[in-house]
Amino acid sequence: MSECENCGSFVTEAYVRVFAPPTMETVRVCPNCEDKLRDGADVRKARSSRGN
């Protein structure tokens, strides 16, 4: 079972395979992260709240 390094949310192995760098076994940020997001190959701080 994989989890996001940033928020600890569950992520599927398919999500990790698509969005994690080849050398990592988990993702650095996921869609559940409210404070960070993917920006191409990098991760950056969110400019606005993505929460409900």
Domain-embedded: residue 51: no
Per residue in 2-20, pLDDT tens?
999 999 999 999 999 998 8
Structural domain span for residue 36? 2-45
Q: What pLDDT is attached to residue 45?
A: 87
Whether 52 maps to a domain, the answer reads no
What's the confidence (pLDDT) of residue 50? 63
Indicate whether 50 belongs to any domain. Answer: no
Does position 44 have pLDDT exceeding 90, yes or no? no
pLDDT of 1 > 80? The answer is no
Count: domains in the chain:
1
Q: Is the pTM value of this prediction over 0.75?
A: no
DSSP 1-52: -EE-TTT--EE-HHHHHHHS-TT-SS-S--TT-SSEEEETTEEEE-SS----
